[in-house]
Amino acid sequence: MSRRPYVRKVERSWWLAHPRYVAYMAREITSLFIGLYCALLVVGLVRLAQGPAAWEGFLAAASSAPGVLLQLVCLAFAAYHSVTWFALTPKAMPLTLRGERVPGGAIVGAHYAVWAAVSLVVLIAAGV
């Protein structure tokens, strides 16, 4: 009896086959929107370097309807990135304190606390 193993092809649409993989792709595509917002920040820095008029033009563009729309989409994906990143951190960096495993929830909670603190500091610095 001869062997003839059959190799099944992996489709390019493999990630559509199961909700778990769709969620993975959504998580990964957050990077596109984070990258887009970084580009927006770089434009802002360039405008800042070009003087007050250029800076005001940048602020106006950021406040325009398409500007706000783009940023709201980026915000949604950025928040999804934060939530998923924090949730995965305990797996990558497990902690043992005084002979006991620190519960994952505590590590995640600490990240949310830092997130809130950093956000508050930035908001205050920005003059809210």
Residues 40-99 that bind other proteins (CB under 8 A): 40-42, 44-46, 48-49, 51-52, 55-56, 59, 62-63, 67-68, 70-72, 74-75, 78-79, 81-82, 85-86, 88, 91-94, 96, 99
Compute the least distance from the CB of residue 103 to other proteins, in Å: 14
Compute the least distance from the CB of residue 105 to other proteins, in Å: 15
From 66, 97, 105, 126, residue interacting with other proteins (rule: CB under 8 A): 126
Q: What angle separates helix 65-92 from helix 52-63, to the nearest 10 degrees?
A: 80
- CA–CA gap between residue 11 and residue 9 (Å, rounded): 6
2 Rama class: left (phi>0) / alpha (psi -120 to 50) / beta:
beta
Q: Does 102 bind other proteins (CB under 8 A)?
A: no
Give residues 106-125 in contact with other proteins (rule: CB under 8 A): 111, 114-115, 118-119, 122-123
From 22, 24, 103, 106, residue interacting with other proteins (rule: CB under 8 A): 24
Q: Does 19 bind other proteins (CB under 8 A)?
A: no
3-class secondary structure, 4: coil
DSSP letters for 69-126: HHHHHHHHHHHHHHHHHHHHHHHHS--EETTEEPPHHHHHHHHHHHHHHHHHHHHHHH
